[in-house]
Amino acid sequence: MRARPAPGVLLVLAPLIPLLLAPVGCASSVCSKVRSDREAFTRRAVAPGPHLALAVPYATLSQSVQRSLTGLPQVRLPLPDLGPVDLGALAVAIRSVAFRPAPAGSVGARVTVALTSQGKPVTALELDAVVAPRLDPQAGSVRLRLGAADLREVRPSMPPAERKRFAEFLLALVPGAARALVGREQVEALAETFLRELVGGRWPQIRDGLLQGTDDLVDVEIDLGEVPLTKIELKSGAADLELWAHAALPAAALSAGPARPAGSDARLVGLRMSGGVAAALANRAMASGQIRPLQPRRRPRPARRAARRRRLAGRRAAAQGPRVEHRGHLRPPHLRRHAEGRGPRRR
């Protein structure tokens, strides 16, 4: 006969039977929660933007195009004759391009044309043009191009202060002996007539000479980096060109405020980015292998430390070169005699 187990044993093991039959690993409810949280994180929807804003100072844009203006041609402009006095000629050249505010979606560009005499500035003309940038969200770039055709549609102007300055320049060219015959009023009238013809009928010929062989006076591209974008909006601030970008990333939009971060240096390019965009870009970089997790540094084992010390000692010995040591009976004779108390041998 077989002995039957005591009834109390079954009663003790009964509560443990469901645990023994459960699958090995974490509890099913915990695994489901982790799995659902991960799926919700990876399937987050893109929130309406903008998600990042870039503030580029107009001064920075203007400085970036100055070098390209040095190779432009100059035009010689003869001055009017003042009776028997020959006043010579002026050199006309494009001196600078300064970006400035404009209506939304565009950028203003003020082109300054300098009139010089023997390398010294005399006066200047101003041309105010409007540039419509080319926005390319797929490439993540904004391109500003001011072509020769844009300047052909703009008429130059001269501020009153520059007109007065030009009249003073002409008056200074009149020799002292001729000033008794030529009055100040006559010189000012001559200057006004000359400037009126300059910005009027003579300007197209001067403009074509300045732009000869030039297709684009300004060609600047702003790269927004490797950020997937769906839309770029351009706004003109008081001192910055603002670029508001919408990212194709599961991230919240920027909080309300200007494009330039508060307290940043106004001379530098400013960037505002939502925290969600920064996290999404970091996740993309880790998934593509551009960012690798930091591996903990292992402490070398004693045997490895000893082997490394021997290698370092060998390298130091090789770097110092061969060395001869004298020990015991290998000591030279003169050193051995000193050690034994005898003096050196006299010759």
Of residues 322 and 61, more confidently modeled: 61
Q: What is the pTM of this model?
A: 0.66
Number of C-beta neighbours around residue 126 at 10 A = 16
pLDDT tens digits, 27-70 = 567 778 777 876 776 677 777 879 999 999 999 999 988 888 88
Q: How confident is the model at residue 321 (pLDDT cuts 50, 70, 90)?
A: low
Of residues 262 and 19, more confidently modeled: 262
Per-residue model confidence (pLDDT) at position 189: 82
Residue 202 in tokens = 């003579």
Average pLDDT, the chain: 77
Sequential DSSP letters for 68-119: GGTTS--EEEEPPPBTTB---EEEEEEEEEEEE--STT-EEEEEEEEEEETT
Find the mean pLDDT for residues 226-245.
90
Q: What are phi and psi of 6, to 5 degrees?
A: -70, 145
Judged by average pLDDT, the poorest of 134-138, 271-275, 324-328 is 324-328
Per-residue model confidence (pLDDT) at position 297: 66
Residue 191 has pLDDT above 50, yes or no: yes
Number of C-beta neighbours around residue 44 at 10 A = 13
Residue 326 has pLDDT above 60, yes or no: no
pLDDT tens digits, 125-184 = 888 888 888 999 999 999 988 887 788 778 888 888 888 888 888 888 777 766 666 677
Of residues 307 and 100, more confidently modeled: 100
Find the mean pLDDT for residues 241-249.
91
Residue 290 in tokens = 């551009």
Q: Give, in degrees to the nearest 5, the angle at Cα 299 between 293 and 304.
A: 125
Q: How confident is the model at residue 201 (pLDDT cuts 50, 70, 90)?
A: confident
Query: Checking phi first, is residue 171 left (phi over 0); if not, alpha (psi -120 to 50) or beta?
Result: alpha
Strongest mean pLDDT among 85-89, 273-277, 294-298, 331-335: 273-277
How far apart CA 89 and CA 83 sit, in angstroms, is 16
